[in-house]
Chains A and B, each alone.
Chain A
Amino acid sequence: EVQLVQSGAEVKKPGESLKISCKVSGYTFTTYWIGWVRQMPGKGLEWMGIIYPADSDTRYSPSFQGQVTLSADKSISTAYLRWSSLKASDTAMYYCARIPSPDGYNLDYWGQGTLVTVSS
């Protein structure tokens, strides 16, 4: 069974750093791209970027380029989303999801989401 299990909710202060995780199981981690999606409170879904765990090839949506960093650890089948300096506007739910590559262009399995709250 394919599963993506994300780390728990976080409460941070502006300026702090944060790394959230997405641990996958049930398939070979290195053979599918992983996408990250933001959903701000009461708002819609936004593509942030994608990463190919086999070689850490990473592509960012223009809106998120330079704002976050995607990474992956093949040894523990885990993808990460990192901020170096959080802002209040980063408060949102963040989802990881699998892209059924190489011929897939959608998100077929999703994590449960990680709620990030940034407040002074």
Chain B
Amino acid sequence: QSALTQPRSVSGSPGQSVTISCTGTSSDVGGYYYVSWYQQHPGKAPKLMIYDVSRRPSGVPDRFSGSKSGNTASLTISGLQAEDEADYYCSSYAGSYTYVFGTGTKVTVL
């Protein structure tokens, strides 16, 4: 069960949009509509930002959106803000009560 592949880093200026990809296989990302995304600031616990590919928990700004095509899921942050600078991890259900995380992406706000 290999980790999902994410870019190591992405960056953007305030107000811009950035997109983070998350590539898996037909056994995880491609096989289920259960991709979630987590934001982690340094020294803090992760926070759920997107679940079931594109659904936002209450309280998460609508600047955050998710999508999926085939074996690749994506998280887009529109109107980038300074507080969005953090690490982001995708996760997918992989069947038989197993899950897998992505490798993580550092988002830098220039």
Q: Which of B32, B45, B100 has the most CB of A within 10 A?
A: B45
The count of chain A contact residues (Cβ–Cβ below 8 Å) is 22
Within A31-62, which residues are at the interface with B (CB < 8 Å)?
35, 37, 44-47, 50, 59, 61-62
Q: Is the CB of B98 within 8 A of A104?
A: no
Known A46-B101, A47-B98; judge A107-B3 contact (CB<8 A).
no
A110 to B89, CA, bound (A): 14
Q: Is the CB of A47 within 8 A of B45?
A: no
Asked whether any CB of chain B lies closer than 8 Å to the CB of A108, the reply is yes
A104 to B45, CA, bound (A): 20
Asked whether any CB of chain A lies closer than 8 Å to the CB of B1, the reply is yes
Counting chain B residues whose Cβ lies within 8 A of the other chain, the interface size class is 20 to 34
Within A44-100, which residues are at the interface with B (CB < 8 Å)?
44-47, 50, 59, 61-63, 95, 97
Q: Is the CB of B48 within 8 A of A112?
A: no
Q: Is the CB of B96 within 8 A of A59?
A: yes
Q: What chain B residues lie within 8 Å of A37 (beta carbons)? A: 46, 101
B54 CB, nearest partner CB in chain A, Å:
12
The 7 A-B pairs with the shortest beta carbon distances in the complex, nearest first, are A105-B34, A106-B36, A59-B97, A44-B104, A106-B51, A110-B45, A105-B93
18 A-B pairs besides A37-B46, A47-B98, A106-B48 with CB distance below 8 A are A44-B89, A44-B101, A45-B40, A45-B104, A50-B97, A50-B99, A59-B97, A61-B98, A63-B1, A95-B45, A95-B46, A105-B51, A105-B93, A105-B99, A106-B52, A107-B38, A110-B46, A111-B45
Chain A interfacial positions (CB closer than 8 Å to B): 35, 37, 44-47, 50, 59, 61-63, 95, 97, 104-108, 110-113
